[in-house]
Amino acid sequence: MKDPNMQLWCEDEVHFQRHTSLIRMWAPRGQQPCIRSASTREKVSILGALDLKTGRLLTRQATTFNAQTFGHFLKYLLQHTDGKIHLILDNASWHRAKGLKDFFLTHGERLVRLFLPPYSPELNPIERVWRITRRQITHNRYLESLAELETALNAHFAKWEYPNEGLRILCANI
């Protein structure tokens, strides 16, 4: 990104489920680790945007993903940023929703949408943030309640609300 004034953000949505996801871990030889797991489909749904230059992450919780919640998130993003934003998006139907046509026309000077090729989540850097979050928050961990999951996610994302070196480096090769 040679233009110092250009803001390049990427956006995505994710569900974090309360049930324990098991991944490899260290354990004493001959001992099988035992981790409790909730038998539930409860989840926390998050919309997020990542500034690729600074590593700043903005997130909002939603009950579902659709044009309305996406529109609310875009307003939130524009309120918490300055200048023109180039926003990398996948091809979810709500990213191109007819109900948001007026919003995109109104904010066209400030918000430019850049769409990834279909079926290519590996090209969206925010997917790395979701993977790290799962590893640190939900993998190999029993969460007693949905509120505990929400609290853990909010605390985790709060560390990345301001520009930071960790996420900036994670996205440096983009």
Q: What is the pTM of this model?
A: 0.86
CB 88 within 8 A of CB 9: yes
Beta bridge partners, 45, equal: 15, 62
Domain residue extents for the chain? 7-18+41-170
Q: Which CATH number is 7-18+41-170's, of 3.40.50.300, 3.10.20.520, 3.30.56.10, 3.30.420.10?
A: 3.30.420.10
Please list, in sequence order, all residues whose beta carbon lies within 8 angstroms of the beta carbon of residue 44, skipping any fewer than 6 positions away. 15, 16, 18, 61, 146, 149, 150, 153
Cα 57 to Cα 168: distance, rounded to the nearest angstrom: 10
pLDDT digits (tens, 9 = 90+) for 10-34: 999 999 988 767 666 677 888 777 6
pLDDT digits (tens, 9 = 90+) for 54-72: 999 999 999 999 999 999 9
Structure tokens at 62: 């939603």
Helix ranges, 87-142 (H): 101-106, 126-133
Beta bridge partners, 48, equal: 12, 59
The distance from CA 73 to its chain's CA centroid, rounded to whole angstroms, is 12
Per-residue pLDDT tens, the chain, 174 aa: give them. 566 677 999 999 999 988 767 666 677 888 777 676 667 778 999 999 999 999 999 999 999 999 999 999 999 999 999 999 999 999 999 999 999 999 999 999 999 999 999 999 899 999 999 999 999 998 878 788 899 999 999 999 999 998 888 888 877 665
Helix ranges, 6-161 (H): 67-79, 101-106, 126-133, 146-158
